[in-house]
Amino acid sequence: MGGYGSGRYFKHDTRITLDELTSLSVTEMARKQIFAIGSDTSGTISWNNSDSAISFIASTHDDQNLYLRLQYKLLSSNEFQDYTIRLSRTSMRFGGWRWWFHCPKTDHRVTRLYLVPEDGRFVSRHAYKLLYSSQTHGDFDRALAMRKKYKNQLGDFVYLKPFRMHQKTYDWLFERFRYYDAKVNEIAANKVSSS
């Protein structure tokens, strides 16, 4: 009973995380000058990790009615989606504009929307209480991730200071690596002794 990986130390949440979903960033769209004030802009958006593409029309000629219209077909259900996302903008302190999406489900002002399979639309993470992958990990997974992070910064030979790294930096990174290495071993030992 119980073997390696069972029990609460090693369990993590199996819900879909934000890292697994396709997302739209209003910041990236603004950087590509999709929101040209006083005109309509159209085009397509595609992702490197997906075969899907989305057609859009960004309407910014009426300050009281700013919107982004999306049109695409869902690969999973072959269902065609056609809806608008309300946009707004706020002036920035040193000039220019900051653009915002308004979630189609909650109307919250956000900078990123996610394509949720259950909904078929791009919505905010708050609409479905979506989590970042780091929020689904248990103590053991977090300790492993941190140990790996510091090991990568130290290089293959953690006991030797990398060339051109300051001694203080090396000492700090090495202490962090040792702390998380001990934590991983402690959690694993506790799990083995309790099973």
Residue 10 in any domain: the answer is no
- Residue 9 confidence (pLDDT): 44
Let me know whether 33 and 107 are in one domain. Answer: yes
The domain of 187 spans 133-194
pLDDT average, residue stretch 150-175: 91
Let me know whether 56 and 96 are in one domain. Answer: yes
Let me know whether 104 and 37 are in one domain. Answer: yes
| Position 88 pLDDT exceeds 80 | yes
| Bridge partner list, 109 | 102
Cα–Cα distances in angstroms (integers) from residue 154 to residues 59, 75, 163, 168, 171, in the given order: 49, 43, 10, 13, 10
| Position 40 pLDDT exceeds 80 | yes
Domain end call among 123, 149, 173: 123
Most confident range (mean pLDDT) of 24-38, 127-141, 172-186 is: 172-186
pLDDT average, residue stretch 155-166: 88
Let me know whether 112 and 165 are in one domain. Answer: no
Provide, rounded to the nearest whole percent, the portion of the chain with pLDDT above 90: 28
Let me know whether 116 and 26 are in one domain. Answer: yes
Residue 12 in any domain: the answer is no
Tally Cβ neighbours within 10 Å of residue 99. Answer: 20
Q: pLDDT tens-digit profile of 144-154?
A: 888 889 999 99
Report the domain count for the chain.
2
Residue 7 in any domain: the answer is no
| Position 8 pLDDT exceeds 50 | no
Domain end call among 62, 89, 123: 123
Residue 145 in any domain: the answer is yes
Higher pLDDT, 116 or 111: 111
Let me know whether 116 and 152 are in one domain. Answer: no
| Position 50 pLDDT exceeds 70 | no
Residue 1 in any domain: the answer is no
- Residue 133 confidence (pLDDT): 62
Do residues 96 and 102 make contact, with C-beta atoms less than 8 angstroms apart? no
Tokens 């040209």 locate to 36
pTM score: 0.61
Let me know whether 146 and 115 are in one domain. Answer: no
| Position 13 pLDDT exceeds 80 | no
pLDDT-derived band of residue 140, with 50, 70 and 90 as boundaries?
confident
Domain end call among 123, 151, 168: 123
- Residue 12 confidence (pLDDT): 46
- Dihedral sign from CA coordinates of 26, 32, 34, 36: positive
Let me know whether 152 and 187 are in one domain. Answer: yes
Phi/psi at 48 (5° precision): -65, -35
| Position 11 pLDDT exceeds 50 | no
Let me know whether 155 and 117 are in one domain. Answer: no
Residue 16 in any domain: the answer is no
pLDDT-derived band of residue 83, with 50, 70 and 90 as boundaries?
very high
| Position 2 pLDDT exceeds 60 | no
Residue 14 in any domain: the answer is no
